[in-house]
Amino acid sequence: MAEYELDCLGEACPIPLVKTENRMKELAVGDTLIVIIDHSCALKNVPEWARKNNHTVEVEETGDSEWEIFIDKSA
């Protein structure tokens, strides 16, 4: 049930998505990854990828053009 952060501030697409995919492989089931982004395209493709892989996703807007994407690894 550990929580990890992945800082993708200043990274353009598709780097946040590829980094998220790689990092999620290292996590155990039940762990949460918090992806911090400031590119709106990552706001679309990161949650889309995670939902497609049956993870639970929550997005929080933390500032102007800044978001935290919470991904619970489910499988």
Partner 1 sequence: MKLSSNKHYQAWFKNPWTYVTGAILLSIFQIATIAVADGAWGVTGPFAVWGAWVYQAFGGNVDNWYFFSTEGGRAALNRTFLTDPASVRNLGVVVGALLATLLASQFKFKKIKNLRQVAAAVIGGLLMGYGSRIAFGCNIGALYSGISNLSVSGWVFALFMFAGAFVGSRLLVRYFMQ
Dihedral (Cα; 32, 36, 42, 43), 10-degree rounding: 80
Map the footprint of partner 1 across residues 9-48, applying CB under 8 A: 9-11, 14-15, 18-19, 22, 38-40, 43-44
Does position 62 interact with partner 1 (CB under 8 A)? The reply is: no
Q: Which of 4, 13, 31, 70 is catalytic?
A: 13
Cβ at position 4, least distance to partner 1 in Å: 17
- Are 31 and 1 in contact by the 8 Å Cβ rule? The answer is yes
Q: How far apart are CA 28 and CA 11, in angstroms?
A: 25
60 or 74: CB nearest partner 1? 60
Q: Report the side by side order of strands in the sheet with 3-7.
A: 3-7, 32-37, 66-72, 56-63
Positions marked catalytic: 13
Residues engaged in binding partner 1 (CB under 8 A) = 9-11, 14-15, 18-19, 22, 38-40, 43-44, 64-66
